[in-house]
Amino acid sequence: MSSSSSSTVWKRDHFIKNPFLRWTVIILVTAYVLYALNDMNLNWARMKSGLPRAVDFFHRMFPPDFSRWTMIQRGVLESLQMAIISTTISIILAVPLSLGAARNISVRWVYLLSRAFVVVARSFPPILVAIIFVKAFGFGPFPGILTLAFTALGFMGKLLGEAIENIDPGQVEAIRATGANWFKVQLYGVAPQVLPRYVGLSIYLLDINLRASTIIGIVGAGGIGGALFNAFHRYEYDTALAILIVIIAIVLVMEFISSKVRGRLQ
């Protein structure tokens, strides 16, 4: 046997095959992480002192205190109302927006305008939008509804717009060939092709909006989040846990319904 047999020793494939690229990525990522860890000034003494506070926190959290049930109920109801109103508004407005954001339907300046709106609406987290709207319009569910509708429109405009861009142009041509006007072409040529996607996205949107509506109250935009924030600030951690349990339950129920409906649509 010659020494060449050693070269046949099997080695597993690396995830990044190019060794130069692999090591560059590894070294860069490691260097950055070390820098970031150092820059954070992680104070171990302070982290250690957090431990007894965490234990104390859990002691005061249990058992959950549901005695403020009417307040919780009011907050949950408001979250639900906000989610329903904002979802309805955004799925209606999403129709013109996503037609505008589809390159194959709209004219150039409408397309650019719609896309710009989508990019802006999608880039900001809902809480950030909520805090601005609260400053502009005052506390309560109204800025909350605006927030949810705004971010939802960004989401719908992107996904539905892309769905419209991917339709089969043959069907649109066929309807146009019958002499149908613009609206009829959209209604009979475009709409049937994207309708299942539209309905699925609408349900998903309700799911997303309900989730967000339980949180944006933290900055004063209505819903159960405000009650949660107050409970934390009054150190009533048992009430906070009760509210959290209710929020988790609603979110899970909605997620279940939404995934069932979407599963049936496909």
Please report whether residue 1 would count as binding another protein according to CB under 8 A: no
User: Which of 100/126 has CB closer to another protein?
Assistant: 126
User: Which of 1/51 has CB closer to another protein?
Assistant: 51
Please report whether residue 163 would count as binding another protein according to CB under 8 A: no
Mark the segment that binds another protein (CB under 8 A) among 65-73, 100-108, 165-173, 211-219: 211-219
What is the number of residues in the chain? 266
Please report whether residue 138 would count as binding another protein according to CB under 8 A: yes
User: Which of 93/131 has CB closer to another protein?
Assistant: 131
Neighbours of 76 (CB within 10 A): 20
Size of the site for another protein (CB under 8 A): 60
Q: How many CA atoms are closer than 13 Å to the CA of 111, on its beta-carbon side? A: 11
If you write DSSP's letter for every residue of 8-68 in order, what string do you get?
G---PPPSS--HHHHHHHHHHHHHHHHHHHHHTT--HHHHHHHHHHHHHHHHHHPSP--TT
Mark the segment that binds another protein (CB under 8 A) among 106-114, 140-148, 157-165, 168-176: 140-148
Residue from 99, 111, 141, 152 binding another protein (CB under 8 A): 141
What gap in Å lies between CA 172 and CA 185, rounded to an integer?
6
Please report whether residue 17 would count as binding another protein according to CB under 8 A: no
Q: Which residues in the 37-66 window bind another protein by CB under 8 A?
A: 37, 39-40, 42-43, 46-47, 50-51, 53-54, 57
Q: How far apart are the first and last CA of the chain?
A: 61
The closest alpha carbon to 148, from 94, 111, 74, belongs to: 94
Please report whether residue 32 would count as binding another protein according to CB under 8 A: yes
Rg (CA), the chain: 26
Backbone angles phi, psi at 193, to 5 degrees: -75, -30
Please report whether residue 124 would count as binding another protein according to CB under 8 A: yes
Please report whether residue 179 would count as binding another protein according to CB under 8 A: no
Instruction: Find all residues with CB under 8 Å of 121, minimum gap 6, and list them.
Output: 150, 151, 153, 154, 155, 157
What gap in Å lies between CA 245 and CA 56, rounded to an integer?
19
Residue with tokens 């709209």: 106
Interface residue list for another protein (CB under 8 A)? 12-13, 15-16, 32-33, 36-37, 39-40, 42-43, 46-47, 50-51, 53-54, 57, 77-78, 80-82, 84-85, 88, 119-120, 123-125, 127-128, 131-132, 135-138, 140-142, 145, 188, 192, 211, 214-215, 218-219, 222, 228-229, 232, 244, 247-248, 251-252
